[in-house]
C-alpha cells in the first residue's frame, strides 16, 4: 500500500454508474428521485445494493427500525466497526445525490479495499439509515435517532404517514423483501463514523473548493401545531360567529415567521406542510395541522425562539383552540477535532482543495456523534440546489469525496491505538 492509501483504487466511473442505476428506483418526471422511506422504490433500491454487496462477499444486516448495514469483515471481528453511510430515501421530487452519495461512496470504499485486498483490523460497515428525510414519516433521521437511543424504537414505530400507514407496518414490507437477511437489535458499539454528503449549499462551489471538512451541524426543533375551529357553511356563517381554523393558522404562521426572522439572520424557520380538514371549498375549515421546522446553530436561540411559539399561537388563535406538540429536537452538533483533522490531513495528502464548512442541513451523523468520534466530508453541488430535481454534481467531485473517504476510513480501521491517542 503506497503510504497507507487506497485512494487511487477508487473507481470514479463505477461510482457514477451506481448513482445512475440507483436513480432508476423511484425516478421523478423531471430527472430527479421520489423514493420515500419504506416504499416499494426504497425497498427495491436497497435490494439492489444488497445484490451488489452479495457479489463482493460483503454481509448485509437489518435492525429493528430497518437500518441496513453492509459489512466487510476485519482481521479482528470483535472490534467495533468503523462506520460510514447515509440514506437512500429522498424527498418528494428530490435529487439523485442527497444521501445516495454517502451510501455509494461508502460502498465504493469497500470495493476499493476488496480490489486491493487490503485487510483492516476493524470491520467496516456502510449504513443505510431508515427515513432520514422525514418526508413520509416524521421526524427525519429516524433510523439513526433510534440507533443512538433504542428507547425511541416504539414511539417511532407508531409514527404514521398522511395515509395513516405506520412505520411498523411499512417495516413489515421491508422485512418481507429480505427474508434471509440476519436481523440485529438496534444500537451497537461503533468505533467511529464518517459520512460523505453533497453540501446542499453554495459555499464550496463559490469558493472553488472540492472537499468540505464539516465542523458541525445546526440544531433543530420540530413542532406539529393542531388548530381546532368549528366546521360550518361558507355561505351562511357570519364573520363574528366563525371559528375558522385556516384564518387562525395563517395569522399564527405569519406572526411566527416575523418573530423568528427578526430574532437572528441565521434563523431557518419553515412551515412545509399544512393539512386542512375537511379541505372543501364551501366548508369553513374545522381543523388545520401545520409543521414547523426551526433551525439555528446556537442553543440559546433555539430555546428563546422555540419557547415563544406557544405564546404567539395563543395571540393569534382567533377563537380557535390549538395545541403545539414538539416532535423532535437535536442540539447543535460540533464535530470535535479528530475526524475533521483526519479529513483535512488526507485531503492535503491527496492535494485536493478544501475548506472547513458548517452544515445547515441535518444529517444522520448528528446522531452518531453522540456515540463515537464522527465527522462529514462534503462535496460541491451545482448552485447549492438540493431537495429539488435539479440537484446536480460533477462526477469528478464524487470521486474526490470517495477518495478522501477511503483513506480516512483506512486510517481509522487499520490503526487501533492511535485512534484514541491525543492529537499533538
Ligand atoms: O432536512 C434536512 O436537513 C435533511 O436534508 N433531511
Ligand atoms: Mn441527506
Ligand atoms: Mn435531504
In this predicted structure, the answer to whether residue 313 has a pLDDT above a threshold of 50 is yes
Q: How many whole angstroms from 45 Cα to the centroid of ligand 2?
A: 16
Q: Please state, as a whole number, how many other Cβ atoms lie within 10 Å of the Cβ of residue 160.
A: 15
Nearest atom in ligand 1 to 293's CA: 1
pLDDT-based confidence at 3, cuts 50/70/90? Answer: low
Residue located nearest, by CA, to atom 6 of ligand 1: 133
Report the chain's C-alpha Rg in angstroms. 23
> Three cell numbers at 406?
477511503
In this predicted structure, the answer to whether residue 419 has a pLDDT above a threshold of 50 is no
Q: How many whole angstroms from 293 Cα to the centroid of ligand 3?
A: 13
Position of cell 461508502?
Answer: 106
Q: Kindly report the average pLDDT of the chain as a whole number.
A: 95
In this predicted structure, the answer to whether residue 418 has a pLDDT above a threshold of 70 is no
Residue located nearest, by CA, to atom 4 of ligand 1: 362
Please report the pLDDT score of residue 2 as a whole number: 52
Q: How many whole angstroms from 265 Cα to the centroid of ligand 3?
A: 22
Tens digits of residue pLDDT in 264-295: 999 999 999 999 999 999 999 999 999 999 99
Q: What is the mean pLDDT of residues 319-344?
A: 95
Contact 98, 35 (CB under 8 A): no
H or E stretch covering 156: helix 153-158
3-class secondary-structure state, position 370 = coil
H or E stretch covering 414: helix 395-414
Q: How many whole angstroms from 361 Cα to the centroid of ligand 3?
A: 7
Q: How many whole angstroms from 153 Cα to the centroid of ligand 3?
A: 22
Q: How many whole angstroms from 133 Cα to the centroid of ligand 3?
A: 5
* Helix 245-263 vs helix 299-306: crossing angle, to nearest 10: 150
Q: What is the mean pLDDT of residues 154-159?
A: 95
Tens digits of residue pLDDT in 192-236: 999 999 999 999 999 999 999 999 999 999 999 999 999 999 999
Cβ of 99 below 6 Å from ligand 1: no
Indicate the DSSP class of residue 167. H
Please report the pLDDT score of residue 417 as a whole number: 38
Rounded Cα–Cα distance for residues 130 and 402 (Å): 22
Q: What is the mean pLDDT of residues 47-64?
A: 98
Contact 374, 191 (CB under 8 A): no
Rounded Cα–Cα distance for residues 5 and 109 (Å): 11
Contact 407, 346 (CB under 8 A): yes
Contact 233, 282 (CB under 8 A): yes
Nearest atom in ligand 1 to 387's CA: 5
Cβ of 132 below 6 Å from ligand 1: yes
Nearest atom in ligand 1 to 361's CA: 3
* Ligand 1 pocket test target in 92, 99, 132 with most atoms within 8 Å of CB: 132
Indicate the DSSP class of residue 166. B
3-class secondary-structure state, position 128 = strand
- Phi, psi dihedral angles at 343 (to 5 degrees): -60, -40
pTM over 0.85: yes
Rounded Cα–Cα distance for residues 57 and 53 (Å): 6
pLDDT-based confidence at 99, cuts 50/70/90? Answer: very high
Residues 6+ apart with CB under 8 A from 262: none
Percentages helix, strand, coil for the chain (3-state, rounded to 5) are 40, 25, 40
Taking the CA of 217 as reference, the closest ligand is 1
Amino acid at each position: 500500500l503506497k503510504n497507507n492509501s487506497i485512494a487511487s483504487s477508487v473507481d470514479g466511473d463505477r461510482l457514477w454508474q451506481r448513482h445512475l442505476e440507483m436513480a432508476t428506483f423511484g425516478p421523478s418526471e423531471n430527472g430527479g428521485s421520489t423514493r420515500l422511506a419504506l416504499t416499494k422504490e426504497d425497498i427495491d433500491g436497497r435490494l439492489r445494493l444488497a445484490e451488489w454487496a452479495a457479489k463482493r462477499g460483503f454481509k448485509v444486516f437489518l435492525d429493528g427500525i430497518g437500518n441496513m448495514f453492509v459489512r466487510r469483515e476485519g482481521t479482528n471481528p470483535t472490534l467495533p466497526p468503523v462506520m460510514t453511510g447515509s440514506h437512500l430515501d429522498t424527498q418528494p421530487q428530490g435529487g439523485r445525490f442527497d444521501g445516495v452519495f454517502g451510501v455509494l461512496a461508502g460502498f465504493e470504499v469497500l470495493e476499493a479495499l476488496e480490489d486491493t485486498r487490503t485487510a483492516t483490523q476493524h470491520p467496516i460497515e456502510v449504513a443505510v439509515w431508515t427515513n432520514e428525510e422525514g418526508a413520509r414519516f416524521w421526524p427525519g433521521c429516524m433510523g439513526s435517532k433510534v440507533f443512538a437511543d433504542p428507547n425511541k424504537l416504539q414511539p417511532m414505530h407508531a409514527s404514521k404517514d398522511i395515509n395513516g400507514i405506520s412505520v411498523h407496518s411499512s417495516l413489515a414490507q421491508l422485512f418481507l423483501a429480505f427474508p434471509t437477511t440476519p436481523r440485529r437489535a438496534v444500537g451497537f458499539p461503533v468505533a467511529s463514523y464518517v459520512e460523505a454528503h453533497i453540501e446542499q449549499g453554495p459555499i464550496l462551489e463559490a469558493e472553488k473548493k472540492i472537499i468540505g471538512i464539516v465542523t458541525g451541524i445546526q440544531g433543530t426543533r420540530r413542532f406539529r401545531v393542531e388548530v381546532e375551529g368549528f366546521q360550518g357553511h361558507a355561505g351562511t356563517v357570519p364573520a363574528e360567529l366563525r371559528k375558522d381554523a385556516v384564518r387562525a393558522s395563517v395569522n399564527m404562521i405569519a406572526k411566527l415567521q416575523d418573530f423568528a426572522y427578526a430574532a437572528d439572520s441565521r434563523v431557518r424557520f419553515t412551515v412545509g406542510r399544512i393539512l386542512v380538514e375537511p379541505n372543501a371549498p364551501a366548508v369553513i375549515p374545522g381543523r388545520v395541522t401545520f409543521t414547523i421546522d426551526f433551525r439555528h446553530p446556537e442553543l440559546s436561540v433555539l430555546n428563546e425562539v422555540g419557547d415563544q411559539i406557544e405564546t404567539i399561537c395563543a395571540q393569534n388563535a382567533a377563537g380557535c383552540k390549538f395545541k403545539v406538540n414538539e416532535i423532535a429536537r437535536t442540539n447543535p452538533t460540533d464535530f470535535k477535532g479528530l475526524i475533521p483533522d483526519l479529513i483535512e490531513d488526507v485531503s492535503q495528502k491527496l492535494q485536493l482543495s478544501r475548506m472547513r464548512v458548517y452544515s445547515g442541513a441535518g444529517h444522520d451523523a448528528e446522531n452518531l456523534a453522540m456515540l463515537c468520534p464522527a465527522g462529514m466530508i462534503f462535496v460541491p453541488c451545482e448552485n447549492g440546489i438540493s431537495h429539488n430535481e435539479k440537484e446536480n454534481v460533477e462526477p469528478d467531485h464524487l470521486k474526490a469525496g470517495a477518495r478522501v473517504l477511503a483513506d480516512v476510513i483506512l486510517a481509522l480501521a487499520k490503526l487501533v491505538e492511535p485512534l484514541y491517542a491525543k492529537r499533538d
